[in-house]
Amino acid sequence: MIMNLSTCSPSSSLFRLIDSKSPVSPLSLKSKTHLSKSPYFVESNQPTSPFFHVSQSRTPFLRGKNEQFQGRSQTVKAFAIPGFDLGGFESAQPVLQAAGVLTAIIVVHESGHFLAAYLQGIHVSKFAVGFGPILAKFNSNNVEYSLRAFPLGGFVGFPDNDPDSDIPIDDANLLKNRPIFDRIVVVSAGVVANLVFAFVIIFMQVLFVGLPVQESSGGVLVPDVRPLSAASRGGLLSGDVILGINGTELQKTGPGLVTEVVDVIKNSPNRNVVLKVARGARNLDISVTPDESSDGTGRIGVQLSPNLKFSKVLPKNLVEALNFSGREFWGLSVTVLESLKQTFLNFSQTASKVSGPVAIIAVGAEVAKSNVNGLYQYAAILNLNLAVINLLPLPALDGGTLALILIEAARGGRKLPLELEQRIMSSGIMLVIALGLFLIVRDTLNLDFIKDML
């Protein structure tokens, strides 16, 4: 699994949703948290990987205060974003919840492939949740269903080129022998399943939780301060609002306020930073000396967020719920596509921010620690990213397989030589696996509690 945590790296902000007793913030995922479901197989055990990307380009499910909704409004709550520390693995329950969401999304994707094949009478030999060594399995209707050791992937296997299969190689119901349209349906069904699942998740969020409407109060909120951190030693308290830094007033509102504060702190290790803070009805100056991180940047041990409040708007009826959901689904889809575009156009700047399954689950765990309701948004974003990324015409992705089928169609039904196809797909698979392993190791070493142990 590959993910771009462009604004959610260990030293920047993570969006989190918190319950009514805590500051709340929706998960703002940029377009590229690229999930890699390594490996999932589309044809004859062909692995693929989902990629996911996180950013602050748009806050899902939020509307400005001037946008009018006719639904019922609920109580106003604060909006919070974790600031500098990626501590998603410090508690087992949120980690398991995030991993469960990720696994469910991958299962939905693979179920799309499986059902599209099954309903057309195409032979399927395997359906696996996870990858690696088999923990448990059973057979039904000549299909092996298995649970594997590593739950962050899955695959559907076809017996097309399986030397142990007793199905004749010219069987009309082998995937490779079916008409082009049938194969396109099977290969694209995983993406369709994720898109449908994303809409269902958004609809459930709108219907049962409500549509948040945001209002900015200015400044940068400090929802949490770690004990014994630089911020705590300097006297910064949870609930403080940062109005200025080093004598410079922050803008009243704006999407870059958190980044502005983060950048100053990161660039000031072991140097005094003066924060102008609003605490209740008082304004005061607080001096903080950021500790130096292992990468040489400063950190003060706080969570930061735009100082926003939001109220939840519940739809009055089913039609309004569908309308809200459709608008959010479209808005999130556009954001995902735009962010992916920007990622490719500025790859030299974004490549270092690509992260793997460890970081994906860390983000989800941060959301789950605050409020399980936040997993709605987390799951919707992952589904959309997985769908979009898998349509890219790259080897080992659904889009790569579709590209080969379309080339076959353009050649009048003549397939590329089998050896050439296998070489193309094998190269993509090896690249994905190598990149995935690298990112898993790197992201694990970047976790705060791992850094503390080293």
Instruction: Yes or no: say if 113 and 143 are a contact pair by the CB < 8 Å rule.
Output: no
DSSP symbol at 396: T
The C-alpha atoms of residue 79 and residue 13 are separated, in whole angstroms, by: 13
Instruction: Yes or no: say if 237 and 222 are a contact pair by the CB < 8 Å rule.
Output: yes
Query: What residues are annotated to the active site?
Result: 110
In angstroms, how far apart are the furthest CA atoms of the chain?
A: 81
Q: How many CB atoms lie within 10 A of CB 93?
A: 11
DSSP string of 72-137, one letter each residue: EEEEEEEE----S---TTSSHHHHHHHHHHHHHHHHHHHHHHHHHHHHTT----EEEEEEEEEEEE
Classify residue 432 as exposed, middle or buried by CB count within 10 Å of its CB (0-12, 13-18, 19+). buried
The C-alpha atoms of residue 309 and residue 215 are separated, in whole angstroms, by: 5
Nearest CA among 245, 298, 293 for reference residue 267: 298
